[in-house]
Each structure stands twice: as structure tokens, then as C-alpha cells.
Amino acid sequence: SQTIHQWPATLVQPVGSPLSLECTVEGTSNPNLYWYRQAAGRGLQLLFYSVGIGQISSEVPQNLSASRPQDRQFILSSKKLLLSDSGFYLCAWSSRGSGANVLTFGAGSRLTVL
């Protein structure tokens, strides 16, 4: 069966520090991968998606970047965090074609920027 791992689960970072969140998927190959963010009391916002190694699409301009160095690995990064980067970050995967809208989410990473 497929599983998705996301870490770290929680982190507190000072403003201006770098960020790296990692996500890996097991039990499937060639998945679509996604990064969503949920600010406190708000809905989910799609940040990035990837349909293959090295292929990253950004949905909104921001202080973050994403990379996909391997088929089942998706990394969210920032060089210098802002206060507004605080939130709940969720990685997800889906298959292609008819299953593309059936997303499986990870447990999330809660980021607090102070």
C-alpha cells in the first residue's frame, strides 16, 4: 500500500532563518506531488505541484521554493523565513489521469516563525 511521510512534524524558526520540509511517498511510482499551506483559521492553498522529477509549478508568488530531486521526494524550502510563512504545510500525492483529483495527504508540518 502507498504511504506518505512528511517531516518534521513541528518546528519553530526565527525570522530570516532557512527552511526545509521534506516529503516522501512509498508504494507508488511517478506520482503527482503537491505542497499546500493552511494559515490559521483559513482554507488550504496550493503552493506547488510537480508531475515529474525536476518539474515544479508554482501557484502563487511567495518566499518559498520547491524541488523534486527524486521521483518520490518533494522538498519545500526557503532561504529566509518571514512571519507570514507561519502555517500548517501539507504534502500530498495523487496518481495521473482519472485519479489525479484523489489526493492523499501527509500528516502535515506545523511551522511557527517568530
In the numeric block, which cell numbers belong to residue 81? Answer: 523565513
Stretch in the footprint of another protein (CB under 8 A) among 21-29, 32-40, 65-73, 74-82 = 32-40
107 contributes a contact to another protein by CB under 8 A: yes
Taking Cα atoms as reference points, which of 54, 49, 64, 44 lies closest to residue 94? 49
The torsion angle over the Cα atoms of residues 85, 80, 48 and 44, rounded to 10 degrees, is 0
Size of the site for another protein (CB under 8 A): 25
DSSP letter assigned to residue 50: E
Residue of the chain from 11, 53, 56, 103 that contacts another protein (CB under 8 A): 103
47 contributes a contact to another protein by CB under 8 A: no
87 contributes a contact to another protein by CB under 8 A: no
